[in-house]
A and B are shown apart, each in its own frame.
Chain A
Amino acid sequence: MYARVDATPSLAPPPARNLHRFANPGRFLRLSGRVLPVLALAGLILSVTGIAWGLFWASADWQQGDAVRIMYVHVPFAWLASSGYVGLAVCSVLSLVWRHPLADLAAAEISPVGAGCAALCLATGSLWGKPMWGAWWVWDARLTSMLVLFFLYLGHVALVRAFDDPQRGYRAGAILALVGVVDLPIIKFSVDWWNTLHQPSTITLTGAPTMYIGMLWPLALCALGFTFGFAAVVTARLRAAVMERRIRALLLARAQEAAA
Chain B
Amino acid sequence: MTHLTYIIAAYGLTALVSTGFALDAWARMGRARRRLAAIDPRANSRASR
List A residues at the B interface (Cβ < 8 Å): 26, 29-30, 33, 40, 51, 55, 60, 65-67, 69-70, 73-74, 77, 113, 116, 119-120, 123-124, 127-128, 130-131, 229, 232-233, 236-237, 239-240, 243-244, 246-247, 250-251
Contact = CB atoms under 8 A, between A and B. Distances in A.
Contact of A33 (B1, B4, B18, B48): B48
B10 A244 contact: no
**3 closest A-B pairs by CB:** A65-B2, A243-B32, A236-B25
Contacts of A236: 22, 25-26, 28-29
A74 B32 CA distance: 33
Contacts of A120: 13-14, 17
Contacts of A69: 7
Nearest to B35: A247
B49 A130 contact: no
A41 to B, nearest CB: 12
B16 to A, nearest CB: 10
A131 B6 contact: yes
Contacts, number: 95
Nearest to B22: A233
B10 A73 contact: yes
A67 B2 contact: yes
Contact of A237 (B4, B11, B28, B36): B28
Contacts of B14: 73, 77, 120, 124
A25 to B, nearest CB: 9
Given A70-B6, A127-B10, A243-B36, 8 more contacts: A29-B49, A33-B47, A66-B2, A66-B3, A67-B2, A73-B11, A239-B32, A250-B40
Nearest to A51: B11
Nearest to A27: B46
Nearest to A113: B21
